[in-house]
Structure 1
Amino acid sequence: MKKVYPIGEFAKKTGQTIRTLHYYDEIGILKPSHVSSSGRRFYSEDEIITLQKIVALKFLGFSLEEIKRFMQEEKWDLKESLAFQKRLLLQKREHIDRIIKAVTHAQHLAEEQEKMDPNIFSLLINSIQMENQQKEWLKQFMPDETVEKLFDISEEKQLEYAKKLLGIFEKLKECYGKDPGDSAVQSLMGELFSIAKDMEKEVFGEYLSLFHLKEDEFAEEPMLFPSPFSKEEEEWVAKAVEIFLEKEGVDLSEKES
């Protein structure tokens, strides 16, 4: 005669909660071997083996609905299911890696400033979240290998550029309302384009950098390339950029054509 265990003892023996066992019974993936007239559930060694299968499939990331289907089959054809599950897990790992990267960047920036403008914070997080989509969009304008190189710079360099750029964005917001040709504003423009040149030299080599793409091309993809500025601030920054480029001797009519 098989030994049976009351649900409480079975739960303790298998490391499951009574609530979980009730739910498994309810959805039909693990039924007790016997239910008394008073409604008490009892489990045998056979249910331990069944539970081991459920735990193994859960560990691999299968849903309870998928597990229920497997439990109804005498033989398991796992080849296709495992391949699909692996793809899902790799996607989840990539997602978690991006979250860790975003948190790490935010932590580094928070160490230097206690409070951060919400628009700038969103820009930082979105730029990491939308990285794959940004790659595909940029490949319309640049060779694939150039785009991949852009996103392949070291974590240390990414943080360095992020700190500098976001710091300039913060200062520009503080300067908003001043004359775009003000020396402080133009000094920030100089810092901004200096960083752009450094990035261009390190990442793009002889190829044109992102700063040579037209502004309206970015504006058409607001979710991919969110702006840290309001509409009014963007217009003000655009004027400051125009003044800076004129001082640098850039032919704006040629740039726009």
Structure 2
Amino acid sequence: MNETLYTIGKFAKKTGVTVRTLRYYDQQEMIKPSFVSESGRRYYKDEDLVVLQQILSLKFLDFSLQQIRELLAAADGDLTSSLKMQKELMIQKQNHLNRVILSLDHAIGIFETEKRPNLQILSFVIDSIQNEEGHMDWVKQNFPERYAKRVESITGDEWMELHKKTALLFQEMKEALKTWKPESPQVQRLVGECLDMLAGILGEQDILTDMISLDLDWEGIGEKAEQDLFSVSPFTRQEEKLIEKAFEHYYIGRGIQSHD
């Protein structure tokens, strides 16, 4: 019994792909016609449909054309391994997309406020979201367990509100430093608000006294935080120097000469 031959046009119509796509797959040596006439006309058989279905399935699974070529020639064991690897890659992509969506939600929430922060602060917030797991590990390594547990207990909605408050507070600090000195009441008020917000995150009412009483290498922790945590800063170097002076003045004003 003779096998049915399909012209490229009929095969395209039968499979739901375009003639252009079939020609491209032919060029990429992924699926070639079963027969080519002397005039150059391409003909396909029903068995070619199986190969095309495999290509389309792998393409749906987000394999690259190079990977598909390799898989078409692979043994079942290799295919199983490749599918597992692709699944892991898809999970990674899914996690990345979830973080992108979360970052967009937070960004929208921040920019819907009356006082909109600048791009530098927004970049800081997004970087914090993207590196949340690494930041959490860092807290566990450098601070007492009770602080890590408190931070871990914060819900997604609470973090969104904290990011909004942080962005607005940092924006207000940037604007204040343009006009006022670090020791001014206006800037000192903002330093107090920063510590109050930190107290809320860590669950400590008197955060300044509690943190200073801890037997920790604060200078070393500060240097590690700058190196390991914050690849994006919400402040310029000049602003950071002014903020450091503002905090020093705040400590001195409360009888704390050093926080080493």
Equivalent residue number for residue 183 of structure 2: 181
- The 1:236–1:28 alpha-carbon spacing in structure 2 relative to 1, beyond 3 Å, is same
Q: CA RMSD in A?
A: 2.8
Equivalent residue number for residue 230 of structure 1: 236
Q: Specify the code of the residue in structure 2 equivalent to 1:216.
A: E
**Deviation per CA, 1:52-96, whole angstroms, max 9, x where unpaired?**
112222233333223222322464543322322222111111111
- The 1:235–1:166 alpha-carbon spacing in structure 2 relative to 1, beyond 3 Å, is same
**Deviation per CA, 1:146-182, whole angstroms, max 9, x where unpaired?**
6476255211100111111110100111111311122
- Structure 2 Cα separation of the partners of residues 75 and 156 of structure 1: 46
Aligned mate of 2:224, from 168, 193, 217: 217
- Structure 2 Cα separation of the partners of residues 190 and 74 of structure 1: 65
TM-score normalised by L of structure 1 = 0.84
Q: Specify the code of the residue in structure 1 equivalent to 2:237.
A: K
Unaligned runs of 5+ in 2: none
Give the match's secondary structure for 2:203: helix
- Structure 1 Cα separation of the partners of residues 3 and 150 of structure 2: 64
Stretch moving more, 182-191 or 72-81? 72-81
Give the match's secondary structure for 1:241: helix
Q: Is the 8 A contact 1:130 1:224 kept in 2?
A: no
Equivalent residue number for residue 154 of structure 2: 153
Identity of aligned residues (%): 35
- Structure 2 Cα separation of the partners of residues 139 and 104 of structure 1: 27
Matched, 1:201 2:203: yes
TM-score normalised by L of structure 2 = 0.83
Equivalent residue number for residue 3 of structure 2: 2
The aligned length equals 249
Q: Specify the code of the residue in structure 1 equivalent to 2:135.
A: Q
Unaligned runs of 5+ in 1: none
Aligned mate of 1:252, from 249, 254, 257: 257
Equivalent residue number for residue 241 of structure 1: 247
Give the match's secondary structure for 1:29: coil
**Deviation per CA, 1:25-77, whole angstroms, max 9, x where unpaired?**
11211111222333332222111111111222223333322322232246454
Q: Is the 8 A contact 1:135 1:148 kept in 2?
A: no
Q: Is the 8 A contact 2:120 2:234 kept in 1?
A: yes
- The 1:21–1:72 alpha-carbon spacing in structure 2 relative to 1, beyond 3 Å, is same
- The 1:114–1:252 alpha-carbon spacing in structure 2 relative to 1, beyond 3 Å, is closer
Stretch moving more, 2-11 or 86-95? 2-11
Q: Is the 8 A contact 1:127 1:225 kept in 2?
A: no
Q: Is the 8 A contact 1:70 1:76 kept in 2?
A: no
Equivalent residue number for residue 22 of structure 2: 21
**Deviation per CA, 1:109-130, whole angstroms, max 9, x where unpaired?**
1111475312101101111222
Equivalent residue number for residue 172 of structure 2: 171
